[in-house]
Structure 1
Amino acid sequence: MDKHYVYILECSDGTYYTGYTNDLQARIKKHESGEGAKYTRGRSPFTLMFSECFASKSAAMKEEYRIKRLSRASKERLIREGIDYEESKEFS
């Protein structure tokens, strides 16, 4: 069974990059070498802040799209607690 990952990297400038892959380690190496996404070029080194595994590519890509639309505060809460404001509507 194939594995599909959604991940969040923190770039050296403090910004977050969210992506999808079926090989997380290889994808991070591509980002580090400058061959990854255009957004991450020149923003290394990276810290893997969050990853989640899915059984299907479709489910992973839907989650990637959802995460990309979250506010920074919600992404930080997702990283910290596995929860985001837009989903839970719980504000602390």
Structure 2
Amino acid sequence: MLKHYTYILESSTNGRWYYGHSANVEQRLIQHNNGQNKSTRNKGPWRLIFIREFENRLEANRFELYLKKLKNKSYIKREYTRYFL
């Protein structure tokens, strides 16, 4: 079964975070840095700072949405420190 991941990217330009999920995080990072994502275009370069594995896409998507709703970097760093790189 294909694993899925929730990830956080950080902009080297302005420190902003981007939350996403994918089965291939390395390829997604390349796409973000090549301007292939409207939300992250011209805001990079981006670097991967967080990755968490899930058994399926639905779980990864739900966790991504949960993180987005938190809007609290300090809490995320404290509660999910083991997933930060």
TM-score using structure 1 length: 0.78
Q: What residue identity is the alignment partner of 2:31?
A: K
Q: How many residues of Structure 1 are paired with residues of Structure 2 in the alignment?
A: 80
Q: By percentage of residues, which structure has more strand?
A: 2
CA distance in 1, matches of 2:54, 2:40: 23
CA distance in 2, matches of 1:18, 1:82: 14
- For structure 2, the 5+ residue unaligned runs are none
8 Å Cα contact 2:20/2:64 also seen in 1? yes
Rg larger in 1 or in 2?
1
Give a deviation string over 1:32-87, Cα, whole Å, max 9, x none: 10002x1200011112111101001111010011001112xx3344235516xxxx
Matched, 1:21 2:19: no
Q: Which runs of 4+ in 1 moved over 3 A?
A: none
**1:75 aligned partner:** 73
**1:86 aligned partner:** none
8 Å Cα contact 2:29/2:47 also seen in 1? no
Bigger RCO of structures 1 and 2 (CA < 8 A, at least 6 apart):
2
**1:9 aligned partner:** 9
TM-score using structure 2 length: 0.83
- For structure 1, the 5+ residue unaligned runs are 84-92
Pick closer, same or farther for the CA change 1:77–1:47 going to 2, 3 Å. Answer: farther
* Seq. identity, %: 35
CA distance in 2, matches of 1:23, 1:49: 15
